[in-house]
Amino acid sequence: MKRIVVLISGNGSNLQTLLDQSAAGQLGGEVVAVVSNKAEAYGLERARIAGTTTAVLSNKDYGDRDSFDAALMQLIDSHEPDLVVLAGFMRILTPGFVRHYQGRMLNIHPSLLPRYQGLHTHQRAIEAGDTEHGCSVHFVTEELDGGPVVLQARVPIFAGDDEATVAGRVQVQEHAIYPLVVRWFCEGRLTMQQEQAWLDGVPLPAQGHA
């Protein structure tokens, strides 16, 4: 059984799907710990309800990014994970941290990457007049939101939609695709080689540019 550590900063709805599928034996892995950089993150409560170990490491207690990431790495590694899952973890990670988990750290981002890297993705898609939007699961590399995409899901944007409507529509898809990708990893079907994602020994096509 693969060991998974999930990092969160907030609500933890993606974490919830992973906890549920882990408990149901459908993930091929076990969420062994949930770490938040925010003590008030609701995802911590979700983890406690599921009986999963939690930890809070506040970035405010560290003078700089390097020392926080070093402490975070130590905390994560104490749980001996096979996979680190970023699920709404709203921190930019240092290159050394990312390199340490190269090929075994996944993120979910609320846009059709490479479109809308960074924040406020739903609002930016609406303001651009996009009729299509979505979410992407990708391996984490040193380029922010730039690692190889494993799986995307698309949703429509309709006239009159606001940020909350679109966010809700995207999240339904996030909850479908993230556990699926985690399962592929846990089953040994998904790897990253030469900055490319591979599934069942086949390189996945790079996603097109906006």
Binding site: residue ranges? 12-14, 65, 90-93, 107
How many residues bind to ligand GAR according to rule CB under 6 A? 16
The dihedrals phi and psi of 94, each to the nearest 5 degrees, come to -75, 155
Q: Give the residue carrying structure tokens 């020994």.
A: 201
11/198 with CB nearer ligand GAR: 11
Site for ligand GAR contains 88 (CB under 6 A) = yes
Please tell me which residue in 79, 100, 109, 138 is annotated as part of the active site.
Answer: 109
Q: What is the DSSP letter of 138?
A: E
Q: Which residue is nearest to ligand GAR (CB)?
A: 88
CB atoms within 10 A of CB 171: 17
Tokens describing residue 159: 């006239």
Q: What whole-number distance in Å separates Cα of residue 5 and Cα of residue 49? A: 16
Q: What whole-number distance in Å separates Cα of residue 54 and Cα of residue 15? A: 12
Site for ligand GAR contains 147 (CB under 6 A) = no
Site for ligand GAR contains 87 (CB under 6 A) = yes
Site for ligand GAR contains 114 (CB under 6 A) = no
Name the 3-class secondary structure at 132.
strand
The dihedrals phi and psi of 115, each to the nearest 5 degrees, come to -70, 145
Residue 175 bears catalytic tag: no
Site for ligand GAR contains 46 (CB under 6 A) = no
User: For residues 56 and 39, is the Cβ–Cβ distance under 8 A?
Assistant: yes
Question: Contacting ligand GAR (CB under 6 A), which of 14, 36, 52, 94?
Answer: 14
Please, what is the minimum distance in Å from the beta carbon of residue 39 to ligand GAR? 15
Q: What whole-number distance in Å separates Cα of residue 202 and Cα of residue 143? A: 23
Question: Contacting ligand GAR (CB under 6 A), which of 72, 98, 106, 108?
Answer: 108
Please, what is the minimum distance in Å from the beta carbon of residue 187 to ligand GAR? 23
Site for ligand GAR contains 171 (CB under 6 A) = yes
Euclidean distance between the first and final Cα of the chain, in Å? 38
Q: Is 127 left (phi over 0), alpha (psi -120 to 50) or beta?
A: alpha
Site for ligand GAR contains 105 (CB under 6 A) = no
Site for ligand GAR contains 84 (CB under 6 A) = no
Site for ligand GAR contains 173 (CB under 6 A) = no
User: Residue numbers of the site for ligand GAR (CB under 6 A)?
Assistant: 8, 10-15, 43, 87-88, 108-110, 135, 171, 174
Which residues are part of the catalytic machinery? Answer: 109
